[in-house]
Amino acid sequence: MSDPFKEAAGIRKVLTADETAEGRLDAWLTAKVGEDFSRSRIKALVKEGAVLLNGVPITDPQRKVRPGDSYQITLPEPEDPTPKGENIPLDVLFEDDDLIVISKPAGLVVHPAAGNWTGTLVNALIYHCGASLSGIGGVRRPGIVHRLDKDTTGVMVVAKNDVAHRHLSQQFADHGRTMPLERAYQAIVWGRPSQLVGTIDAALGRSTGDRTRRAVKRSDSHDADEAVTHYQVLERFHENPDATALASLIDCRLETGRTHQIRVHMAHIGHPLLGDVVYGAGFKTKANLLPEAAKKVVNRFPRQALHAYLLQFEHPRSGEVMHFESPLPDDMKELAAALRA
């Protein structure tokens, strides 16, 4: 039997809730629409007014579905799952037949996903590398063995064939315990950690309130993943006689590589990253304690102040230990200079 929703994509379709209908509107619609549309996509369509109840737009995806409700939903054409090459400039640090190492700028999403189907690093790599990219990471993530958040800058390595992909993936899964993989970041955080050198050992999992966020979890929680971050304070800005400081530049080394790990861990110990609107929004008013010139720079800083400055790994073919570093980007240099003033 054909799927009427695939056939009706792009037109309005009527759905009637039967006597068994229950739960949130976005969840119910997702179950009815099928695999072409994720729950997050359906949720977005509801918020955009693409769903009508008795001819009236409803924009609350959490609304409870009741038996007898009649909904009209306008479905866009499903996205093409295969990314296309796009001529997006890349800052290439190294390239050979097996891999490519780049310095990722802020604002560049690594791979296509809901809301970012084009303009990603994958689109740029397909254009740059052509058919040589490894497909082992999936259609939408060819060659990707690790990632950086959209607004995090720094060094990344991408595999150009399946052998390189497997070898590099093993190194990232090992987290440098028995292999030479090493990753280091620099971040500017609010305050100054009580210890100049320390380790944060706190398991992470999805936030119960917002599944796009991560949160510290009890280690015995069913969804907890081990997460360990080592940090060192490199510089203190506006230090006080009692050894406190308004902000600090820190070095972070990862023992694990969880999503948002540094951002969540630093917020967990009370020192979120400057510019982090997800995990550090409550600290934004601290900028009012700065001199006016520095306050302006901090308030207009558009992202979390995090840069992946070092990446080391073993080359999958030669076995040579490859070491790459990328200096702080200009916006973080300007931020640090303003805090020093």
Asked if 110 and 168 sit in the same domain, the reply is yes
**105-154 per-position pLDDT tens digit:** 999 999 887 667 889 999 999 999 987 888 777 777 899 999 999 999 99
Asked if 218 and 289 sit in the same domain, the reply is yes
Q: 280: domain CATH number?
A: 3.30.2350.10
User: Which of these three, 74, 105, 124, is where a domain ends?
Assistant: 74
Which residue would you say has higher pLDDT here, 315 or 281?
Answer: 315
Contact (CB, 8 A) for 129 and 90? no
Asked if 186 and 334 sit in the same domain, the reply is yes
Give the separation between CA 187 and CA 252, rounded to whole angstroms: 8
The pLDDT value recorded for residue 78 is: 58
Contact (CB, 8 A) for 15 and 71? yes
Asked if 135 and 225 sit in the same domain, the reply is no
Identify any residues that bridge with 226 across adjacent strands, giving them in sequence order.
none
Asked if 151 and 70 sit in the same domain, the reply is no
Asked if 61 and 163 sit in the same domain, the reply is no
Contact (CB, 8 A) for 99 and 158? yes
Q: How far is CA 331 from CA 149, 260, 266, 301, 303, in A?
A: 17, 20, 21, 8, 10
Asked if 216 and 334 sit in the same domain, the reply is yes
Find the domain containing 234 and state its range: 182-340
Does the residue 86 lie in any domain? Answer: no
Does the residue 82 lie in any domain? Answer: no
With CA atoms as reference, report the closest residue to 94 among 268, 295, 311, 301: 311
| Three-state helix/strand/coil letters over the chain | CCCHHHHCCCCEEEEECCCCCCCEHHHHHHHHHCCCCCHHHHHHHHHCCCEEECCEECCCCCCECCCCCEEEEECCCCCCCCCCCCCCCCCEEEECCCEEEEEECCCCCCCCECCECCCCHHHHHHHHHHHHCCCCCCCCCCCECCCCCCCCEEEEEEECCHHHHHHHHHHHHHCCCCCCCEEEEEEEEECCCCCCEEEEECCEEECCCCCCCEEECCCCCCCCECCEEEEEEEEEEEECCCCCEEEEEEEEEECCCCCCHHHHHHHHCCCCECCCCCCCHHHHHHHHHCCHHHHHHHHHCCCCCEEEEEEEEECCCCCCEEEEECCCCHHHHHHHHHHHC
Asked if 167 and 238 sit in the same domain, the reply is no
Does the residue 79 lie in any domain? Answer: no
Would you call 223 a catalytic residue per the annotation? no
Q: 60: domain CATH number?
A: 3.10.290.10
Does the residue 84 lie in any domain? Answer: no
pLDDT tier, 15 (very low <50, low <70, confident <90, very high otherwise): confident
> In terms of pTM, does the model score above 0.85?
no
**70-94 per-position pLDDT tens digit:** 898 887 765 566 888 999 999 999 9
Number of domains within the chain? 3
User: Which of these three, 153, 174, 195, is where a domain ends?
Assistant: 174
Percent of the chain with pLDDT over 90: 62
149, 151, 276, 331: the active-site residue: 149
Whether the pLDDT of residue 199 is over 60: the answer is yes
Neighbours of 271 (CB within 10 A): 22
- State phi, psi for 151 to the nearest 5 degrees: -100, 15
* Burial (CB count within 10 angstroms: exposed 0-12, middle 13-18, buried 19+), residue 73: buried
Does the residue 9 lie in any domain? Answer: yes
User: Which of these three, 151, 174, 197, is where a domain ends?
Assistant: 174
Asked if 57 and 115 sit in the same domain, the reply is no
**165-197 per-position pLDDT tens digit:** 999 999 999 988 899 999 999 999 999 999 999
Neighbours of 5 (CB within 10 A): 17
Strands 182-190 and 306-314: antiparallel
The pLDDT value recorded for residue 141 is: 86
Does the residue 117 lie in any domain? Answer: yes
* Burial (CB count within 10 angstroms: exposed 0-12, middle 13-18, buried 19+), residue 222: exposed
Asked if 265 and 157 sit in the same domain, the reply is no
Asked if 144 and 126 sit in the same domain, the reply is yes
Asked if 56 and 195 sit in the same domain, the reply is no
Does the residue 286 lie in any domain? Answer: yes
Does the residue 325 lie in any domain? Answer: yes
